[in-house]
Structure 1
Amino acid sequence: MKTICIITSYFPPETGAASNRMAHMAHGLTKQGYNVTVITPLPNYPTGKVFKPFKGQFKHTSIENNITIHRLWIYASNSKNKIKRLIAMLSYSFSLVWFFLFNKLPYKIIVQSPPLLVAFTCMLFLRKSNHKLILNVSDLWPIAGLELGTFKKNFSYKVLEKIEHYNYKKAHLVLGQSDEILSHITSIHPKKETFLYRNYPDFKPLPIQSTFNERGKIRIVYAGLLGHAQGIYKLCKELDYTNIEFHIYGMGAEQDEIKTYISKHKELPIFYHGGVSREELHVALKTYDITIIPLLNRIYGSVPSKIFEYARLGLPIIYFGGGEGETIIKKYALGWIAASGNYNDLNHVINSISLSKLDANVKSDIQKRALKHFDFEKQLKSLSKVL
């Protein structure tokens, strides 16, 4: 049987797009006939604390859905302090080195990046071994950090840039979730073998249902990480609520600010529903009219995986993030575009949407296009040919 190992910093039972896409990849490869092993930290995201069933353990190994999962020790933290975040990444890197020294790995290894330092650890310690190293790049760091304001162009940035280039150089194959990512990589290493690997979801789509709101307002929903990059707190303050309700699902750094804002502005139709499981979320999303996918700043190379997930659910999308995501929304007629960072334009777009036209047929058409063009299994079969 073909064997492959996936090294990732996020994996279920953790929630969020990163863990979901790596789980999809692992399960998809098992369907393609691979014996899959996953190496990941003890689950701790997004709380920054190791989940109760795994507390006090240095290593936990289990077999779940025919996938062998090795969960390694990490100094867990979701602190805004850069030093603590660095220590957390380094602690997982140390655990990986320990694992490499005492365990035999399959020939093919997929390494998730970011985090850059974790990917660097894998590329550095496995570079001379008899392995095919496949780098799966979901976001471009440190460029994304620069655009988000996390980094400045100083000595530290140059070091991270060198690490980034080293990772690309040592990878035998690079998977990128966007054309922008692949263009960036080939601008550095023109002869590098690459493969466009979109973050398509893999779940059975739920039947479309009509929505009805007795208050006559469009129900807009956001579901996902409540981090600074998404800017949901600012969105709460900037939206025109004349014709809408705004519903929020998720957890993250901004959740306390959002809850406080809602409590101080009870006259506004903003509803925070907390974090729920992915299955519960999919059922809840069926009851809304539109979803919004925002980014506080346009991030080069980023294509939110929510685009493909919500389209599969048949949910019309307002995209407010710029970049390649806009191209996908337009190309496949998945919803509306608002100019990135322009809240006046966003409100103009929302106010131009007619609730009467948001019927089941609109949702059904979006779902059909998603099923046709965002086919996870077809993509996996193509990937298997190049692995």
Structure 2
Amino acid sequence: MKILIVTQYFWPENFRINDLAVGLKEKGHDVTVFTGLPNYPSGSFFKGYGFFKKKYREKYKGVDVYRVPLFPRGSGKGWELVLNYLSYAFIASILGPLYFRKRFDAIFVFEVSPITVGIPAIVLKKIFKAPILFWVLDLWPESISSAGTIKSGNIINLVRILVRFIYKQCDKILVSSKGFIPSIFQIDSREDLISYFPNFIENVNSIESDAPEDKYAQPLPSGFRIMYAGNIGYAQSFPTILAAAEILKKYKDIHWIIIGDGRMGEWVNKQVYELGLTETVHLMGAYPQEAMPYYFDKSDVMLVSLRSEPNFALTVPGKIQSYLACGKPVIASIDGEGAELILEAGAGIACPAEDVYALVESILAMYHCDPSVLKDMGERGKRFCELNFDRDVLIERLEQLLIEVSQTR
């Protein structure tokens, strides 16, 4: 099959779509990615990329990658994000018909915010008469109201109209969380439209992978290591994490290892100094995906957190599969679907989102656990992940969905 992947984010940005594109290529498909200039999460273009650089067409592990210019995220203010979202949608809609001459059998859309990524896909659908499979990882407009990006009710209502329009143009909608299904069904109730397609285990998330220790190794403090890896943003409730760290700072051997970057990175760094947490909270910066096995292997427990919002209770953060796959126990300071998954796997402890004292109790419970108990939790999580989120099984399932929907056109 000739498959076009439309995504605002792609390598060297760290998203699962990178591995998914390679997985489809490995199965013998002709895969093309249509994306923007990489700038997530720092807000500035990656080294070697920019408006006047030449990297608008390149290859990633055999996958053809076409890029369009866009406004970078900047510091992540509301107006900057709006420009970032709309610039990709607008410019990609114009340049897409000029970039591509060959016909595609199917268009696959990777929708981790923004929903506007669907607009250029719809334009290309009309030209190539190709069906759209739309993978929803962020539920709009709920996600923008929960994240605090946009507070205007009028704008959110306009976004809701846009969401309805985009969904109506899709031939198949895939959801990363079963909790999304009722909301989407209210918008579009077509029979067999919605299918559950969870995040899968990426190749790099197995700690048996060859980790380039000499390249990524940084000295880590000895003691009990709680590791958070991912975006440092408003949605991740870092005030809760830092409040718990402040309560626990008398435990000099409990260390919080933060790997990642994001629009709240500077604020978190400032708070660490103001709260006197420099001995126990360690901001390591961002690393590529291939470095994660090395750092995950050095942790005692993994931490996932979100704010207490109805929409986030429907979400299963992608990092949960990554954490489970590395065979480490998980502390989940989240509500709903994600918390239930951790408990179902028997892989750790779940506590209510934004409940500082519950998070403190969960950490102390893990801290006082016998190492063999922690090891058992990690192994249960890994087995659960292998049974439910195997990469090859899920990519094969996606392949069948693409074939089926292309044959109905």
- TM-score normalised to structure 2 length: 0.85
CA shift at 1:128, angstroms? 6.7
Given that residues 218 and 355 in structure 1 are in contact (C-alpha distance below 8 angstroms), is that contact kept between their aligned partners in structure 2?
no
Name the residue aligned to 1:30: 25
3-state SS in 2 of match to 1:180: helix
CA shift at 1:152, angstroms? 3.3
CA shift at 1:386, angstroms? 1.7
- What is the total number of aligned residue pairs between the two structures? 377
Distance 1:125 1:29 in 2: 20
- 1:339 maps to a residue whose letter is P
CA shift at 1:297, angstroms? 2.6
Name the residue aligned to 1:146: 145
* 1:231-310 superposed matches below 5 A: 231-239=237-245, 240-241=247-248, 242-243=250-251, 244-264=254-274, 265-266=276-277, 268-298=279-309, 299-310=312-323
Q: Identity over the aligned pairs, expressed in percent?
A: 23
CA shift at 1:207, angstroms? 4.1
Provide, for residues 327-348 of structure 1, a one-character-per-residue CA deviation record: whole Å limited to 9, x for no partner: 2111111110111221111212
- 1:229 maps to a residue whose letter is A
CA shift at 1:125, angstroms? 5.8
- Distance verdict in 2 for CA 1:267–1:317, change over 3 Å: same
- Distance verdict in 2 for CA 1:156–1:92, change over 3 Å: same
Distance 2:345 2:171 in 1: 33
3-state SS in 2 of match to 1:6: strand
Name the residue aligned to 1:200: 200
Distance 2:385 2:148 in 1: 33
- 1:319 aligned onto 2:304: no
Distance 2:119 2:18 in 1: 22
- 2:265 maps to a residue whose letter is Q
Provide, for residues 133-160 of structure 1, a one-character-per-residue CA deviation record: whole Å limited to 9, x for no partner: 1111111011122223333362111110
CA shift at 1:268, angstroms? 4.8
Given that residues 148 and 297 in structure 1 are in contact (C-alpha distance below 8 angstroms), is that contact kept between their aligned partners in structure 2?
no
Name the residue aligned to 1:171: 170
3-state SS in 2 of match to 1:53: coil
- 1:334 aligned onto 2:347: yes
Given that residues 146 and 235 in structure 2 are in contact (C-alpha distance below 8 angstroms), is that contact kept between their aligned partners in structure 1?
no
Name the residue aligned to 1:356: 370
Aligned-CA RMSD value: 2.4
CA shift at 1:233, angstroms? 4.0
Name the residue aligned to 2:134: 135
Between 1:226-235 and 1:308-317, the stretch displaced more is: 226-235
CA shift at 1:359, angstroms? 4.9
Name the residue aligned to 1:62: 58
Structure 2 gap segments, 5+ residues each? 210-220, 403-409
- 1:108 maps to a residue whose letter is A
CA shift at 1:317, angstroms? 0.4
Distance 2:121 2:222 in 1: 54
Between 1:302-311 and 1:139-148, the stretch displaced more is: 139-148
Distance 1:116 1:283 in 2: 34
CA shift at 1:5, angstroms? 0.5
CA shift at 1:217, angstroms? 5.0
- 1:372 maps to a residue whose letter is L
3-state SS in 1 of match to 2:183: helix
3-state SS in 2 of match to 1:145: helix
CA shift at 1:126, angstroms? 3.1
3-state SS in 2 of match to 1:246: strand
Provide, for residues 214-243 of structure 1, a one-character-per-residue CA deviation record: whole Å limited to 9, x for no partner: x99532111111111112244112333154
Provide, for residues 294-320 of structure 1, a one-character-per-residue CA deviation record: whole Å limited to 9, x for no partner: 002331432111111111100110111
Distance 2:384 2:116 in 1: 38
Name whichever structure is richer in helix by fraction: 2
- TM-score normalised to structure 1 length: 0.90
Name the residue aligned to 2:214: none
Between 1:232-241 and 1:29-38, the stretch displaced more is: 232-241
Given that residues 329 and 374 in structure 2 are in contact (C-alpha distance below 8 angstroms), is that contact kept between their aligned partners in structure 1?
no
CA shift at 1:246, angstroms? 1.3
CA shift at 1:24, angstroms? 1.7
Provide, for residues 258-295 of structure 1, a one-character-per-residue CA deviation record: whole Å limited to 9, x for no partner: 22222331575111211222222320221111011000
Distance 2:82 2:278 in 1: 42
- 2:261 maps to a residue whose letter is M
Name the residue aligned to 1:211: none
Given that residues 233 and 254 in structure 1 are in contact (C-alpha distance below 8 angstroms), is that contact kept between their aligned partners in structure 2?
no
Given that residues 97 and 127 in structure 2 are in contact (C-alpha distance below 8 angstroms), is that contact kept between their aligned partners in structure 1?
no
Between 1:138-147 and 1:307-316, the stretch displaced more is: 138-147
- Distance verdict in 2 for CA 1:267–1:249, change over 3 Å: closer
Distance 2:325 2:174 in 1: 23
